[in-house]
């Protein structure tokens, strides 16, 4: 079992590991057609979703979380530890990859940006990573704004790099943040740690 960076509180939201009672709420918006418009994977099998989320506490690389507001699950955040690239013998487990899905009923309320900040906090302050990346469909302007509001910088714009069954080839944008950039962004403010 790994040491979790959760739970924490940011902007009135609780970020914590998922529990069995959360699965139905996660499934309800994960497979929502509006959510899936911008997803590469447009459907997740309910049994697979349950298995994957309940396995997070025992994973050495998955630090995903649920986002709760006033006792209701409103989003999910993904944080995977990955290896940076380089020559053989390079350090491993130094980088993070983040993502998020907000229940569309709560879109436009700042939950996505708060989730991205919480994931960055967990990656840098909780897990000591050196670099975190995220990607979005370039046409998903809400997701692009989330990453930029969280302080990540755009590193690439890949033209027609992402295949989507309904939309064809799409542009993808990539964002990143280094640990020293995070330190400068956050200054001395830190989220409330929950016990």
The domain locations on the chain are 8-189
Q: Which CATH superfamily is domain 8-189 in?
A: Gcn5-related N-acetyltransferase (GNAT) (3.40.630.30)
Among 4-8, 154-158, 162-166, 178-182, the minimum mean pLDDT is found in: 162-166
Task: Give 149-160 as a DSSP string.
Answer: HTT-EEEEEEEE
For residue 176 the two structure tokens come to: 């990143």
Which residues pair with residue 158 across a beta bridge? 172
* pLDDT over 90, % of the chain: 78
- pLDDT for the residue 3: 86
CB atoms within 10 A of CB 33: 9
pTM of the model: 0.93
Note the helical H segments in the chain. Answer: 23-30, 33-36, 46-55, 111-121, 141-149, 179-186
Sign of CA dihedral 52, 71, 111, 117: negative
**131-137 and 8-10 beta bridge pairing:** unpaired
* Furthest-apart CA atoms within the chain: distance in Å: 48
Most confident of 32-46, 99-113, 159-173: 99-113
pLDDT digits (tens, 9 = 90+) for 93-119: 999 999 999 999 999 999 999 999 999
User: Is 191 a residue whose pLDDT tops 80?
Assistant: no
Sign of CA dihedral 15, 18, 21, 25: positive
């Amino acid at each position: 079992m790994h040491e979790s960076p959760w739970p924490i509180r940011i902007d009135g939201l609780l970020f914590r590991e998922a529990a069995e009672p959360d699965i139905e709420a996660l499934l309800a918006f994960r497979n929502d057609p509006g959510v899936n418009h911008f997803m590469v994977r447009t459907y997740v099998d309910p049994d697979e979703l349950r298995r994957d989320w309940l396995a997070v506490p025992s994973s050495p690389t998955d630090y995903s979380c649920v986002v709760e507001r006033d006792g209701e699950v409103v989003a999910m955040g993904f944080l995977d530890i990955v290896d940076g690239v380089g020559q053989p013998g390079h350090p491993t487990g130094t980088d993070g990859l983040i993502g998020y899905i907000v229940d569309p009923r709560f879109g436009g309320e700042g939950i996505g940006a708060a989730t991205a900040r919480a994931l960055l906090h967990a990656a840098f302050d909780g897990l000591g990573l050196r670099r975190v990346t995220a990607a979005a469909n370039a046409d998903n302007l809400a997701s692009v704004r989330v990453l930029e509001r969280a302080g990540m910088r755009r590193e690439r714009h890949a033209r027609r790099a992402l295949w989507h069954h309904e939309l064809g080839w799409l542009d993808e944008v990539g964002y990143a943040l280094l640990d020293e950039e995070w330190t400068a962004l956050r200054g001395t403010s830190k989220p409330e740690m929950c016990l």
